[in-house]
Amino acid sequence: MDRAEKLHFQRLPAEAQSEALWRLALSGLTVEQVAERTGWSPERIRKTINPEPAPVVAPWSTGRRARPEARA
């Protein structure tokens, strides 16, 4: 990408940037090549394409717990 294309990419909404990164990655480009074309760092691209999973909390662990004396 030339400078104008990089600037256009950087002005896209976050969802459109993510989609563009996926298209570039699926086209067979390496993360480094995508970084070169977009102006983003390889680490930022990796985090956008493959984000860290959010911590999972079991739904039953967030509810009220019965008091120990109520169980007896």
pLDDT of 68: 61
pLDDT of 63: 61
9-27 pLDDT, tens digit per residue, is: 999 999 999 999 999 999 9
pLDDT of 57: 81
Q: Name, in order, each residue with C-beta under 8 angstroms of 12's C-beta and a sequence gap of 6 or more.
A: 20
Start-end of H helices in 3-59: 3-11, 14-26, 31-38, 42-49
Neighbour tally for 57: CB within 10 Å: 8
Is the pLDDT higher at 32 or at 64? 32
How far apart are the C-alpha atoms of 65 and 45, rounded to whole Å?
Answer: 42
pLDDT over threshold 70, residue 54: yes
What percentage of the chain has pLDDT greater than the value 90?
57
Domain positions in the chain are 1-51
| Backbone angles phi and psi of 62, in degrees to 5 | -95, -10
1-51 CATH choice from 1.10.760, 1.10.3210, 3.30.160, 1.10.10: 1.10.10
Per-residue tokens: 46: 């990796």
